[in-house]
Each structure stands twice: as structure tokens, then as C-alpha cells.
């Protein structure tokens, strides 16, 4: 097995046992990038030279038997909406094509403290708005399992690079499913943590009350390890929760005897493809056969989740993206007659169509006369959805569902049909609305060989619970086969 095919957990063991060096890992991953990046297009910016230098430093420490941190020497991809000091951070938008942040996001500081090596910045849907990475201003990212299909979005690059072997682990962000959906479509593990558990300082905001940064990996252990590194209270983020965050890797426990799994009927309706339903149910049956208790539950307000999500997310986005005005940073139009003209041209030329649609939708729902009917109403429905989960978790420990109604669709298939694209999020948005943690793990492939995702929701701050059931499933199913077979 090549080094790039191994998990972070395995590689940290190998480094400790001096069975390989960090430089060897970085060089192997770099070689792989050279081989396949043309086909996959996962990256916006590569950081290979720096990565090699960092690897050498880590190797020196290890050779001197000095202590190294949790992720020392492991190449990681970072989604391009997470601020990296001195490295281009573009949000895959023309608006920030040349933007170089003067500071690191808190999570990047944590990665640096854990001595992980940032191998590059990952491609995404522009400003995290999309479910296919097709709205990226930079280029398309292809699904490593089928290069004619999308990797999902908005963290398409972060998911694809795991399956293509171009990074060992990666960070993405999830506002309505942007980690879990691409994780499902690319056949890897992706976690959206509890809102408030990972600092948003330095994450270029899409929807402030829904966004969370989260980990991608080949295995549950990798995701648990990376999540342990990035989570924690941050005084720079007022929405960050000040509690004790246990080591999720050390807490992994595959015992699911008596674990109650809720199956919400609203997530298994008509819109879900048959093969997806079958795979997901088979996974659940496997868990049941090994001691888990399965219960049918109902989350009645689920059908309104997409509407609620789009109202709230667009409203916050329209305000968050107003700062891109050509004055302080980012793109500015070349010709304009006056200030208002400068604003309009800058923003119209700098943003793509999907971003414009969402900004306009957000402006509309907040505008005078419409606030009560849309935004206020959506916030009340949000509370109802949240309460339904709280009630459900009194009865069950985790809730299981498909991650996405379908497998990876063809490039261009849904592009240009916003509503069809939005529907891809129908199983994932509820976790963002309720602020609860949710993970997607691979649970088989469809007849076209495309990965299918199984999703587990947990109660707030119960990451350990959903990681445990995922870990149990991983072991019982013989392990996850994440790597692409075609490149």
C-alpha cells in the first residue's frame, strides 16, 4: 500500500515507530497530486514546497526523540474559505482571487500547534454556496470515483482529495450539508460538529448561525483525531461553547449493545433513490444484529427544513457578503462612474450567479414588509425542528438516515436548476438548523459503483456517541474502502 492510501492514525503510528518519515509521506502525496490533480482538480492552491520544509523539521524532531504533537507530519488539505496567513484564501471566488489573509483562522493555529502539514487549499462552491463545487470560479472538481460526476459540495475539493489520495485528512465547512453530502458522494467519512464546538474565527462566513468547520478522513479514527485537534473554546468567537472537550479518539468504543437508533420516516420518503434506501437499511440491520435497538420515530417538521434553511442561510449570507465592496480587499471593477456604480460593478463582476441569487433572496426576506412573513417565521420553525430533535433524543441515542437522496449526479446535470440542486441537502440541513452533530460514513456502492452515504445524527455535544456507532459500523462492515479505483 502506498503511503497516501494510509490513514492518519496509521501514519502517526508509523512515524512514532520510525517506519517512515514525514518527508516520505509528503513526497508520496505530492507525487500522487502530480499524477492525478489534472483529472481531479481538488486544489485551488498548492503548498508543496513549504510542506516539504515542515516535514523536514518534524523528521528532525522525531530523529532526536523529541516529543511531537497529535498530527505531526500528516499532510492535510484545508478548504479555501478558512483563512491561512500568507496563503491565498479565495473561497473559490473571483471576488477573493488574490486575497491573502494577514492572520490564521483559529483552527489553522490549532493545526500548526498539532504540527499537521498543510498541503494545499481545497476547491469549493463559491462562498460555500452549492452542492456540487460547480459554482467554483476556479475550475471543476471531479468525483474521483467517476470523473464525469460531481464530488458534491460545497466542500467538494476537501472530500475528493481523500478519495484521490491527494491529502491524508482535510478540513471542510458545513452550513446545510457541505461536509456530509460530499463525504457521501465521494465515499469518505465527514463530520459536522455541534454548533459552537469548533471556532468560526477565520472561517469566511456564509451563514453565521449555521456554519461549522469539520473533519474529513478515510476512517472514523481519523475524523475523531482531527476533530479532537480542532475543537475547543475560543474567546475570539462569542458563539464558541466553553465546556470540556474530551479526546474523541481515546474515547472510541465499538460496543453498541443496547444503543437505540431512531429511524425517522420523513427521511425515507419518495425522493430517496431505492438503492440508497436499501444500502442504508442494510447498514442499520447489521447494527441491529449486533445489539443495537432500532426504533421508528417521527420528526414531523422535516418537510419544511429546506425552506427554513434557505430563508435563514440566505438572510445571513446577504449580510455577511455585503462587506465585499471593492474598498478594503478583494476584487474591484476597473471602470465605474461613481461610488454606487463601483459597488454594483464590483459585486456583479466579482460574484457568480448562485451567490447573487442567494444574496438577493436574503435581501428580499429581510426587506421592509417581508421580515415577519419570512425570516421571523423561519426562526420559529427552526425552534420547532430543534425541539423535535430534543424530544427524539430523550428516546433514542442516535438517529440514522441516508446522507443524500441520490449518489453523485453528472456534471452539469443539476447546474442551472437551483431548486433541484437545493434538494440534494434535504437530509442534511436539519442538523445545521438544530445545531446538532452529524456524521456521514460510506455504506456501500450503487450499481454504477458510486458511493452511498449513511448519516448519524446525535444530540448536542454527543460527538462521541455518533463516532462510536460509526466506528462500530466501520468494524462490522469490514472497514471503509474510500480510495478511488479509477485513477
Partner 1 sequence: MKVDIKHIAKLSRLKIEDDKLLKFEKDMEAIVNMVEKLPDVEGELKLDTENPMTLREDVAVQNKFSRDELLKNAPEVQAGCLVVPKTVE
Partner 2 sequence: MKDYEIVVGLEVHAELNTDSKIYCDCKNAFGLEVNTQVCPICMGMPGTLPTLNKKVVDHAIKMGHALNCNINSVCKQDRKNYFYPDLPKAYQISQAEIPLCENGYIDIMVNGEVKKIGVTRIHIEEDAGKLLHDESFAGSLVDLNRCGVPLIEIVSEPDLRSSAEAKAYLDSIKSILQYIDISDCKMQEGSIRCDVNVSVREKGSTEFGTRCEMKNVNSFSAAVRGIEYEAKRQIEVIEAGGTIVQETRRWDDLKGMSFTMRTKEDAHDYRYFPEPDLLTIVVDEENIKQLKESIPELPNIKIIRYVKELGLSQVEAIQIAEALDKSKLFDESVKINICSPRLICNWILGDISKYMNETGKSILETPLTSSRLCKLLENIEKGVISNAVGKQVFEIIINEGKEPEDIIKEKGLAQNSDVSALEEIVNTVMAENEKSITDYKNGKTNALGYLVGQCMKASKGKGNPGIMKDLVLNYLSK
Beta carbons of 242 and 232 less than 8 angstroms apart: no
Residues in the chain, total: 487
Tell me whether residue 199 is one of the annotated catalytic residues: no
Q: Which residue has the cell 460555500?
A: 128
- Contact string (CB under 8 A) for partner 2, positions 300-319, x = contact: ---------------xx--x
How far, in Å, are 3, 31, 276 from residue 71 at the CA level? 15, 21, 34
Sole residue written with cell 482531527: 226
Rounded to 5°, angle at Cα 142 from 140 and 146: 155
Please provide the DSSP assignment of 87-148 as one string.
Answer: B---TTSGGGTT---SS--HHHHHHHHTT-EEEEEEP-SGGG--SSSTT-SS----BTTBTT
- Is 103 one of the binding residues for partner 2 (CB under 8 A)? yes
Q: How far apart are CA 149 and CA 410, in angstroms?
A: 4
Do 437 and 458 touch, CB atoms closer than 8 A? yes
Given partner 2, partner 1, none, residue 205, with its beta carbon under 5 to 8 Å by kind, binds partner 2
Q: Which is nearer to partner 1, 437 or 444 (CB)?
A: 437
Has 154 been annotated as catalytic? yes
Tell the smallest beta-carbon distance from residue 95 to partner 2 (Å). Answer: 10
Residue 319 interacting partner from partner 1, partner 2, none (CB closer than 5 to 8 Å by kind): partner 2
> Would residue 79 show up in a list of annotated catalytic residues for this protein?
yes
Catalytic residue among 21, 131, 154, 279: 154
Question: Considering CB distances under 5 to 8 angstroms, the limit depending on partner class, which of partner 2, partner 1, none binds residue 418?
Answer: partner 1
Binding letters toward partner 1, positions 67-106, x by CB under 8 A: -------------------------------xxx-xx---
Contact by Cβ (8 Å): 470, 280? no
- Judge whether 78 and 121 are in contact, CB under 8 Å: yes
Interaction between residue 328 and partner 1 (CB under 8 A) = yes
Output the nine-digit C-alpha cell for 347. Answer: 459585486
374 binds partner 1 (CB under 8 A): yes
Q: Which residues of 37-70 are buried (b: 16+ CB within 10 A; e: fewer)?
A: beebbbbbbbbbeebbebbeebbebbeeeeebbb
Q: Which of positions 387-426 make contact with partner 1 (CB under 8 A)?
A: 418-419, 422
Site residues (CB under 8 A) for partner 1, limited to 352-371: 353, 356-357, 359-361, 363-365, 367
- The site map against partner 1 for 290-309 (x = CB under 8 A) is -----------x--x-xxx-
Q: Grid cell 515507530 — which residue?
A: 17
Site for partner 2 in 351-370 (CB under 8 A): 363, 366-368
Residue 154: asked if its preceding bond is cis (omega within 30°), the reply is: yes
Do 155 and 149 meet the contact criterion of CB atoms below 8 Å apart? Answer: no
Cα–Cα distance measured from residue 167 to residue 151, given in angstroms and rounded to the nearest whole number:
15
The DSSP letter of residue 91 is: T
Rounded to a whole number of angstroms, the minimum distance from the CB of residue 247 to partner 1 is 24
Window 200-259: residues binding partner 2 (CB under 8 A): 200-205, 207-209, 235-239
326 counts as binding partner 1 under rule CB under 8 A: yes
Q: 261: which strand partners? A: 294, 398
Q: Give the cell for residue 149.
A: 460526476
Q: Could you tell me the end-to-end alpha-carbon distance of the chain, in angstroms, rounded to an integer?
A: 15
Stretch that binds partner 2, among 145-153, 196-204, 266-274, 408-416 (CB under 8 A): 196-204
Q: What's the closest the beta carbon of residue 314 comes to partner 1, in angstroms?
A: 8
Q: Which of 243, 327, 390, 486 binds partner 1 (CB under 8 A)?
A: 327
Residue 201 binds: one of partner 1, partner 2, none (C-beta under 5 to 8 A by kind): partner 2
Cβ 101 vs Cβ 10: under 8 Å: no
Taking CA atoms, 58 is separated from 111, 136, 454, in Å, by 14, 34, 37
Catalytic residue among 7, 136, 164, 178: 178
Smallest CA-to-CA distance from 74 within 117, 15, 120, 31 is with: 117
For residues 175 and 301, which CB has a smaller minimum distance to partner 1 in the complex?
Answer: 301
Residues between 133 and 162 that touch partner 2 (CB under 8 A):
none
Under the rule (CB under 8 A), what is the footprint of partner 1? 98-100, 102-103, 235, 238, 241-242, 301, 304, 306-308, 310-311, 318, 322, 325-332, 336-345, 347-348, 351, 353, 356-357, 359-361, 363-365, 367, 373-374, 376-381, 383-384, 418-419, 422
| Residue positions annotated with a catalytic role | 79, 154, 178
Interface contacts to partner 2, rule CB under 8 A: 82-83, 89, 91, 96, 99, 101-103, 105, 200-205, 207-209, 235-239, 315-316, 319, 322-325, 327-329, 339, 343, 363, 366-368, 371, 375
Amino acid at each position: 500500500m502506498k503511503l497516501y492510501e494510509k490513514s492518519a492514525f496509521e501514519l502517526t503510528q508509523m512515524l512514532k515507530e520510525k517506519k517512515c518519515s514525514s518527508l516520505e509521506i509528503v513526497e508520496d502525496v505530492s507525487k500522487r497530486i502530480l499524477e492525478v490533480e489534472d483529472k481531479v482538480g481538488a486544489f485551488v492552491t498548492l503548498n508543496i514546497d513549504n510542506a516539504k520544509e515542515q516535514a523536514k523539521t518534524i523528521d528532525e524532531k522525531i530523529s532526536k526523540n523529541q516529543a511531537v504533537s497529535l498530527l505531526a507530519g500528516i499532510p492535510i488539505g484545508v478548504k479555501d474559505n478558512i483563512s491561512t496567513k500568507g496563503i491565498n484564501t479565495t473561497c473559490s471566488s473571483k471576488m477573493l482571487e488574490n486575497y491573502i489573509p494577514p492572520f490564521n483562522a483559529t483552527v489553522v493555529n490549532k493545526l500548526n500547534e498539532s504540527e499537521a502539514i498543510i498541503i494545499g487549499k481545497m476547491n469549493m462552491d463559491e462562498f460555500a454556496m452549492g452542492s456540487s463545487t460547480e459554482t467554483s470560479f476556479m475550475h471543476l472538481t471531479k468525483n474521483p470515483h467517476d470523473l464525469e460526476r460531481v464530488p458534491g459540495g460545497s466542500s467538494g475539493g476537501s472530500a475528493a482529495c481523500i478519495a484521490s489520495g491527494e491529502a491524508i485528512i482535510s478540513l471542510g465547512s458545513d452550513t446545510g450539508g457541505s461536509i456530509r453530502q460530499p463525504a457521501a458522494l465521494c465515499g469518505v467519512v465527514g463530520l459536522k460538529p455541534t454548533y459552537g464546538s469548533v471556532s468560526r474565527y477565520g472561517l469566511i462566513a456564509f451563514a453565521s448561525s449555521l456554519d461549522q468547520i469539520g473533519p474529513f478522513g478515510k476512517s472514523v479514527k481519523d475524523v475523531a483525531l482531527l476533530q479532537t485537534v480542532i475543537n475547543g473554546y475560543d474567546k475570539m468567537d462569542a458563539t464558541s461553547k466553553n465546556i470540556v472537550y474530551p479526546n474523541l479518539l481515546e474515547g472510541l468504543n465499538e460496543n453498541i449493545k443496547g444503543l437505540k437508533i431512531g429511524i425517522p420516516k420523513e427521511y425515507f420518503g419518495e425522493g430517496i433513490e431505492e438503492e440508497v434506501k436499501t444500502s442504508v437499511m442494510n447498514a442499520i440491520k447489521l447494527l441491529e444484529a449486533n445489539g443495537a435497538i432500532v426504533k421508528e420515530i417521527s420528526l414531523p417538521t422535516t418537510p419544511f427544513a429546506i425552506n427554513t434553511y434557505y430563508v435563514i442561510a440566505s438572510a445571513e449570507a446577504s449580510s455577511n457578503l455585503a462587506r465585499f465592496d471593492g474598498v478594503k480587499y478583494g476584487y474591484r471593477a476597473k471602470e465605474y462612474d461613481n461610488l454606487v456604480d463601483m459597488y454594483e460593478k464590483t459585486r456583479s463582476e466579482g460574484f457568480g450567479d448562485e451567490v447573487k441569487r442567494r444574496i438577493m433572496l436574503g435581501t428580499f426576506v429581510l426587506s421592509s414588509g417581508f421580515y415577519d412573513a419570512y425570516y421571523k417565521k423561519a426562526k420559529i420553525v427552526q425552534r420547532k425542528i430543534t425541539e423535535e430533535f430534543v424530544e427524539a433524543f430523550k428516546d433514542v441515542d442516535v438517529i440514522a438516515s441516508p446522507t443524500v437522496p441520490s449518489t453523485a449526479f453528472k456534471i452539469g446535470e443539476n447546474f442551472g436548476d437551483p431548486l433541484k440542486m437545493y434538494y440534494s441537502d434535504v437530509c442534511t440541513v436539519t442538523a445545521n438548523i438544530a445545531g446538532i452533530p452529524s456524521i456521514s460514513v460510506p455504506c456501500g456502492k450503487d450499481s454504477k459503483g458510486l458511493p452511498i452515504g449513511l448519516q448519524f445524527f446525535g444530540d448536542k455535544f454527543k460527538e462521541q456517541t455518533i463516532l462510536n456507532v460509526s466506528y462500530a459500523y466501520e468494524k462490522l462492515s469490514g472497514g471503509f474502502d474510500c480510495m478511488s479505483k479509477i485513477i
